[in-house]
Amino acid sequence: MVKSAPPSPTSRKPSKVEGIKEHSNFLREPVATQILEDTTHFTEDAIQILKFHGSYQQDNRDNRVKGQEKDYQFMLRTKNPGGFVPPQLYLALDQLADEYGNHTLRATTRQGFQVHGILKKNLKAAIATIVKNLGSTLGACGDINRNVMAPPVPFKNRPEYKYAWEYAQNIADLLSPQTGAYYEIWLDGEKAISAEEDPEVKAARQKNGTGTVVHDNEEPLYGTYYMPRKFKVSVTVPGDNSIDLYSQDLTLVVITNSQGELEGFDVFAGGGLGRTHNKEETFARLADPICYVDKADVYDIVKAIVATQRDYGDRTDRRHARLKYLINDWGVDKFRAKVEEYFGKPVTPFKPLPEFKYEDFLGWQEQGDGKLFLGISIDNGRVKDEGSLQLKTALREIVEKFHLPIRLTPHQNLIFCDIDPKNKPAIQKILNRCGVVSDPSQIEPLVRYAMACPALPTCGLAITESERAIPGILQRIRALLDQFGLQNEHFVVRMTGCPNGCARPYMAELAFVGSGPESYQVWLGGSPDQTRLAQPIVEKLHDNDIESFLEPIFVYFKKSREAEESFGDFCSRIGFDAIREFASQYQPEAVVITTAETLPQVVATKKKAAPSRSRPRISLYDEVYSKLKETATSQGKSMTEVVNEALKIYLQIDK
């Protein structure tokens, strides 16, 4: 993959968005004027500024009618540092979803909530409701620091987690926009009641002397133009990669001493996943280790990195504007040297860290202070009532009755915290009645570790389906694994409707990235712990061809894997050349069992026949499929072998 830089920004004009920011009067216009107009939508200029306020204008493509206006609606995204959602805010969001939205909430991959389907005429009331109930949408989108992530697990007996939460909140405060535009537009100038800002944070924002502060400006850290592009920060603890630390612009890792006291932070910078198809100068990139910083200097190092990107990031080409491109073009040493200029002194070398692992913290667990927490899996983050699964009802009822705080996870799940053990039976009863699974061992592992972005019909960038498509695709992958005796295997699958990477597909073991109608670019070889980038192996694969593409790879995996080797590790170790070579020579030799959207099926292939993209299918009844799977598992055989043996006996075919 070519990673060449575009022409020097000094010889090119700033992008159009830079001018829109400059003339916005610090995020006021044209939003402040157009919110008062009796229209269904904002102009293109206003849309860019609206993002800073936490909202995207969308069009429901399912409802388009030729010759009529687009079905304009708005998505609101909350900013919840560390994923913290107080019970009052959750209940307000639940009500907003019903009153103004599409009756669902969506937990995001950055530990916030999204409310979809809001009309322009209700946007002001919705934002005001969020703010008045201890929430905010300011800076959840736009060219600014986004929601600061932190591990969601409430281990009260592990001080490093407490520090991660504390500094996630403080850095979110430090980098929050200072303009009064948000409260002027949405609350008529009324300042919201919120937690008092840490005095150290306030002092750090004003502290200068090294060029980090823009003087005589309403935005002391951002200036008139804000950041060149979005800026993503996370804080974690050694070994905990629940927040996908390598995908962030800036990650701080808490370092404590033997007594559990905070000493400082290791600093990573330069991660980012957004890219554009057929633009090889755009690419996903892992963050690099930069330095270690004492706790007394942590706000200064954050400001120094932000100022470096603010002043040297590319403002001419938005595809080349993220911090990852600046570090890639400069190299880590030059970037570190520039950061030191803003920091005001040399930085300290990075401290050794243990291997990072991924955990999702699902199920009932002790939090270390006599209380419990409960992690609940939410398929693709969508909180809704549908059929026998009444998830939205269950969550609302639990919050109403027990007033539990919530931590949203970076994997679009939810954790109820501070549960009195005596309330566990009552909470479990609600979950059982509403069809919500609380035991993670009862969740299909492919589903448990999968993520997808919303994509169609509302995301304007979506090329194809994602959230609505992934359940069926996971079923098909599971059927294929079962077919080849890989019933106990699972891996991280992620899917997006476009290459921007909102569900972090480029860190997955297997990823589908929208590249055309019903077609996907396929990525392989990421780590189960999201510590290694995947790589693209196919540029465009039609949805109908997924089985025929994956079949030889799964067969190769079964034949050539090392002991306990994961699928992603296998693909990375063996290499794509070997995978392609095996696939080119692969010939299906037996009956293939797969699953359609609703009914298990048998796919007949001729022995030694060349792989076919379109195969005849023979349906099985559900009870037959279930018994077949059970028999294959009990005998330690693949379903293919059992089907062959049974059919040979029934049809009296000689072996």
Q: Which positions are annotated as active-site residues?
A: 77, 146, 230, 232, 453, 459, 498, 502
Could you give phi then psi for residue 547, rounded to 5 degrees? -65, -45
Characterise 189 by phi-psi region: left (phi > 0), alpha (psi -120 to 50), beta (else): left
* Pair 151, 242: CB distance under 8 Å: yes
Identify which of 133, 171, 145, 168 has the alpha carbon closest to the alpha carbon of residue 54: 145
Give dist(CA 10, CA 80) in Å, integer: 37
Burial class (CB in 10 A: 0-12, 13-18, 19+), 331: exposed
Name the residue type at position 374: L
Q: Calculate the CA dihedral of residues 225, 226, 231, 233 and round it to 10 degrees.
A: 160
- Structure letter (DSSP) for residue 307: H
Give dist(CA 152, CA 213) in Å, integer: 32
Structure token pair of residue 196: 């008092």
Q: What is the DSSP annotation of 117-179?
A: EE-HHHHHHHHHHHHHTT---TTSSSSSB-PPB------TT-HHHHHHHHHHHHHHHHTS---
Structure token pair of residue 253: 């890792």
* Pair 391, 434: CB distance under 8 Å: yes
Give dist(CA 166, CA 161) in Å, integer: 9
Q: Tell me the pairing of strands 389-390 and 385-386.
A: antiparallel
Give dist(CA 350, CA 334) in Å, integer: 16
Give dist(CA 80, CA 423) in Å, integer: 26
Task: Cite the DSSP H helix spans in 404-469.
Answer: 424-433, 445-448
H/E/C letters for each residue in 624-641? HHHHHHHHHHHHCCCHHH
Give dist(CA 109, CA 451) in Å, integer: 9
Residue in this structure with the two tokens 């280790």, named with its chain if needed = 289
